[in-house]
Amino acid sequence: MALNYFQPLFDVIRDKDRCIKCRACERQCANEVHHYDAELDKMISNSQTCVDCQRCVCICPTSALKITDNPNKFRNNSNWSQRVMTEVYKQAETGGVLLCAMGNPKEYPVYWDKILLNASQVTNPPIDPLREPMETRVFLGKKPRSVTFKEDGSIDTKITPTLELSTPIMFSAMSYGSISRNAHESLARAAAELGIYYNTGEGGLHKDFYKYGPNTIVQVASGRFGVFKDYLETGAAIEIKMGQGAKPGIGGHLPGAKILEDVSKTRMIPMGTDAISPAPHHDIYSIEDLRQLVFSLKEATEYKKPIIVKIAAVHNVAAIASGIARSGADIIAIDGYRGGTGAAPTRIRDNVGIPIELALASVDQRLRDEGIRNEVSVVVAGSVRSSSDVVKAIALGADACYIGTAALLALGCHLCRSCQTGKCNWGIATQRPDLVKRLNPNIGYHRLVNLVHAWDHEIKEMIGGMGINSIEALRGNRLMLRGIGLNEKELEILGIRHAGQ
Amino acid sequence: MKKVYVNEEWCLACHLCEYYCAAANSGAENMIKAFANGKKPISAIQVEESDSINFAVQCRHCPVPLCVKSCITGALSVKDGVVSCDESRCVGCYTCVLACPYGCIVTSEQSKVIRKCDLCTKNNNGDPVCVKGCPNRAIVFEER
Ligand code: SF4
Ligand code: SF4
């Protein structure tokens, strides 16, 4: 193009004193930023296509590379920022909807960071998790209102199916197709080793992964891709996906180019065809319709598996959750507006939905007020970034958390947010065989196991510090939380006091 | 005995093993110095590449090494299962290059003598540097 409106976002800086011209960066950048010029005997880079994935930086054996923001700036303007202007240029050129990936990066408040945890001092002693037993195991599903016993003392109460988690963390739904086979395998193996669950997303389940069935949550989404009897029976639980935090109110679209042989078999659609998930489930227009699907799935699996209903956190989330609790679902998963995605329209991702912290607090309160909190477990997702976020979520009322982005970070993701291009340099969000192989699942699953073990240990330390020795005793214990820098309304919604109170 | 093996399924053809090997056995203090001023130290491990498959190749340390048998000066020898070359005795006749069925003996224009893998027993790096430097654990050092 003769006139280029776009300035590169990043600047690739190579320290010529350190570079040994090994060309590893050239070989590892799928965006073809680096190349070796034999005539000049020099490594040259073209920053224009760099997405700041940091792959080259991590692989360079002499630490010769740095990626920085391009110092070139449009004229300062607080209203028309460079990002806003660039988006206008892009749309003027392409005429298309802006696409993006991963979670909402905009500067909205992160409520997790405005909540502080309590610790015991004199009157009730803290507990040392290394010396005393500490329970992080949780069960997801309906909890009986009361327990009755038979004459011989055995339990009479019928327990509906539940999921047992060794720690209150699960891997979020990420479909095979949006992520690579090796990423999928890493998640599945890690879930099996950890005694937790991963989630197939809406892409069906590859036959090679059926063996991880006991640790798999199978998803039924609006496109119904890959859903059939064996699929439903293989999973430990079935999740009906009504919405996703990154793109509430819209469906999904996996381009035909990504539907290669394996993905096509798994999704049960012809090779090369676009996989389009409609915005609504065409058979669900009310809670009654949802109830029908919940019970169809229960019927199909002989009432042996808990049913999860996943929704995006939107304005009236509490009322929706109340409806779901009455629909017969066993677990509600709520995905906040910072939730990740493999591809979403930028405007939707950045402007639709509400923070998970507020959604969780209001859902938990509403279900308690209506006396149906025991009818469902509540799982939250949408940017749970650390063990302290998990602890805060549980104290706000969650039963467990889904982690998606954090899990991908463990696999190498550097949040360059270019998943939609299919050229993930870390072998995660791609189907290109040469890139997929960069993620060795033997390494990947181990890193995921490490991450969750580390979080589990930190959770024990934090709750031990509060003098609590089980997750069950922390759940909904909002007295363990204090707000900082929050206004009255925010404190009221979160149901917590301000620090110092 | 522990040897270096390559799982071609995970080899990315990044060629980093070659650079780690060359630098570690160059005598230089670090990689930057090893390659400074246009120096090109040679690696004993070499990555073979094609469109669909890549793998790094280095000495198999055969139980009955043909290279050792073929060596006319006795420069090649086996010690504790490791086939290595006494470079002061190599005359550069390249008979071993012909004899090695795996093509694992490396020659270069920089030096008359051959270069081969000695499992990093002659430098102070402990386990072989190609194994330690592989970003995708394609190269492993293990008992098989
Ligand atoms: S990876 Fe590092 S040392 Fe190798 S060519 Fe690139 S910048 Fe130079
Ligand atoms: S796209 Fe990634 S690998 Fe390529 S130059 Fe940029 S940071 Fe490096």
pLDDT in tens, B18-66: 999 999 999 899 999 999 998 999 999 999 998 889 999 999 999 999 9
Q: Which of A68, A96, A124 is where one domain is finished?
A: A96
Ligand 1 contacts CB of residue A260 (under 6 A): no
In a domain, A178, yes or no: yes
Ligand 1 contacts CB of residue A13 (under 6 A): no
**Angle at Cα A425 formed by Cα A420 and Cα A428, nearest 5°?**
65
Burial B94-127 (b: 16+ CB within 10 A, else e): ebbbebbeeebbbeeeeeebbbbbbbbeeeeeee
Residues contacting residue A464 through CB under 8 Å, at least 6 positions apart: A126, A127, A128, A129, A132, A134
Instruction: Report how far residue A198's alpha carbon sits from residue A490's, in angstroms, rounded to the nearest whole number.
Output: 33
Closest CA to A51 of A496, A424, A331: A424
What's the gap in Å between the CA of A214 and the closest CA on chain B? 28
- Do A178 and A326 sit in the same domain of this protein? yes
- Do A217 and A306 sit in the same domain of this protein? yes
Instruction: Report how far residue A480's alpha carbon sits from residue A473's, in angstroms, rounded to the nearest whole number.
Output: 11
Contact A20 B13 (CB under 8 A): no
DSSP class of residue B42 equals P
Looking at chain B, which residue has its C-alpha nearest residue A28? B14
Q: In this structure, what are the phi and psi dihedrals at residue A19, rounded to the nearest 5 degrees? A: -65, 130
> Considering only CB atoms, which chain A residues are within 8 Å of B12?
27-28, 434, 437-438
Contact A61 B15 (CB under 8 A): no
Ligand 1 contacts CB of residue A449 (under 6 A): no
> What is the tally of structural domains in chain A?
2
- Do A352 and A480 sit in the same domain of this protein? yes
Instruction: Report how far residue A256's alpha carbon sits from residue A235's, in angstroms, rounded to the nearest whole number.
Output: 27
Question: Rounded to the nearest 10 degrees, how much is the dihedral formed by the CA atoms of A143, A382, A427, B22?
Answer: -110
Instruction: Report how far residue A210's alpha carbon sits from residue A195's, in angstroms, rounded to the nearest whole number.
Output: 16
C-alpha separations of A474 from A116, A382, A466, B110, B128 in Å? 14, 21, 9, 69, 49
pLDDT of residue A1: 54
The answer to whether the CB of B2 falls within 8 A of the CB of B21 is no
In a domain, A101, yes or no: no
At A404, list the tokens. 């998606």
Contact A442 B138 (CB under 8 A): no
Distance of CA A203 to the CA centre of its chain: 16
Count of CB pairs separated by less than 8 Å, A with B? 49
Instruction: Report how far residue A212's alpha carbon sits from residue A201's, in angstroms, rounded to the nearest whole number.
Output: 15
Question: Rounded to the nearest 10 degrees, how much is the dihedral formed by the CA atoms of A445, A448, A450, A456?
Answer: -140
Closest CA to A340 of A101, A54, A136, A26: A101
Maximum distance among all Cα pairs of chain A, rounded to whole angstroms: 91
Strand partners, A198: A216
> Considering only CB atoms, which chain A residues are within 8 Å of B31?
20, 61-62
Residues contacting residue A337 through CB under 8 Å, at least 6 positions apart: A104, A108, A245, A246, A248, A312, A313, A352, A353, A354, A355, A356, A382
Q: Which fold has domain B62-116?
A: Alpha-Beta Plaits (3.30.70)
In a domain, A113, yes or no: no
- Type of residue at A291: R
- Ligand 2 centroid distance, CA of A430 (Å): 15
Helix/strand/coil for A205: coil
C-alpha separations of A363 from A207, A351, A382, A470 in Å? 37, 21, 15, 23
Helix spans in A235-355 (H): 261-267, 287-300, 317-325, 346-351
Looking at chain B, which residue has its C-alpha nearest residue A15? B32
Strand partners, B141: B4
Instruction: Report how far residue A69's alpha carbon sits from residue A79's, in angstroms, rounded to the nearest whole number.
Output: 20
Residues contacting residue B90 through CB under 8 Å, at least 6 positions apart: B73, B75, B112, B113, B114
Residues contacting residue A22 through CB under 8 Å, at least 6 positions apart: A61, B15, B16, B19, B35
CATH number for the domain that contains residue A41: 3.30.70.20
- Do A181 and A76 sit in the same domain of this protein? no
Q: From the candidates B7, B11, B16, B139, which should be mutated to test the interface with A, based on the most A CB atoms within 10 A?
A: B16
Contact B32 A433 (CB under 8 A): no
- Do A82 and A170 sit in the same domain of this protein? no
Closest CA to A322 of A354, A363, A289: A363
Instruction: Report how far residue A493's alpha carbon sits from residue A296's, in angstroms, rounded to the nearest whole number.
Output: 36
In a domain, A127, yes or no: no
At A376, list the tokens. 């469902």
The answer to whether the CB of A226 falls within 8 A of the CB of A176 is no
In a domain, A476, yes or no: yes
Question: Rounded to the nearest 10 degrees, how much is the dihedral formed by the CA atoms of A445, A451, A453, A459?
Answer: -150
Chain B residues touching chain A at CB-CB below 8 Å: 9-10, 12-16, 19-20, 31-32, 34-35, 52, 133, 135-138
**Mean pLDDT (10-residue bins), chain A, 501 residues:** 82 96 97 96 94 97 96 93 93 93 93 97 90 95 93 91 97 93 97 98 92 97 93 97 94 81 90 90 95 97 97 97 97 97 93 97 98 97 97 98 98 95 95 95 98 97 95 96 97 97 92
**Angle at Cα A280 formed by Cα A318 and Cα A205, nearest 5°?**
100
Q: Of the candidates A20, A59, A434, which has its C-beta nearest B35's C-beta? A: A20
Instruction: Report how far residue A199's alpha carbon sits from residue A163's, in angstroms, rounded to the nearest whole number.
Output: 13
pLDDT of residue A295: 97
Contact B14 A433 (CB under 8 A): no
- Return the ligand number nearest the Cα of A412: 2
- Do A314 and A442 sit in the same domain of this protein? yes
At A139, list the tokens. 């069960």
In a domain, A231, yes or no: yes
pLDDT of residue B126: 86
Contact B12 A27 (CB under 8 A): yes
| Residue pointed to by tokens 């467990």 | A400
Domain ranges of chain B: 1-58+122-144, 62-116
What's the gap in Å between the CA of B38 and the closest CA on chain A? 9
In a domain, A25, yes or no: yes
C-alpha separations of A236 from A204, A303, A455, A460 in Å? 14, 12, 24, 26
- Other beta carbons within 10 angstroms of residue A54's beta carbon come to 18
Ligand 1 contacts CB of residue A181 (under 6 A): no
Ligand 1 contacts CB of residue A63 (under 6 A): no
Residues contacting residue A261 through CB under 8 Å, at least 6 positions apart: A271
- Do A178 and A88 sit in the same domain of this protein? no
At A142, list the tokens. 């309906």
Instruction: Report how far residue A282's alpha carbon sits from residue B105's, in angstroms, rounded to the nearest whole number.
Output: 66
Laid out side by side, the sheet with A331-335 consists of A169-171, A400-403, A377-381, A331-335, A307-312, A237-241, A216-220, A198-199
CATH number for the domain that contains residue A197: 3.20.20.70
| Cα-only R_g, chain A | 24
At A183, list the tokens. 């990423």
The CATH code of the domain at B1-58+122-144 is 3.30.70
pTM score: 0.94
Mutate to test the pocket of ligand 2, among A67, A424, A428, A435 (most ligand atoms within 8 A of CB): A67
Q: From the candidates A54, A65, A436, A437, which should be mutated to test the interface with B, based on the most B CB atoms within 10 A?
A: A437
Domain that holds residue A403: 138-145+162-498
In a domain, A4, yes or no: no
pLDDT in tens, A439-456: 999 999 999 999 999 999
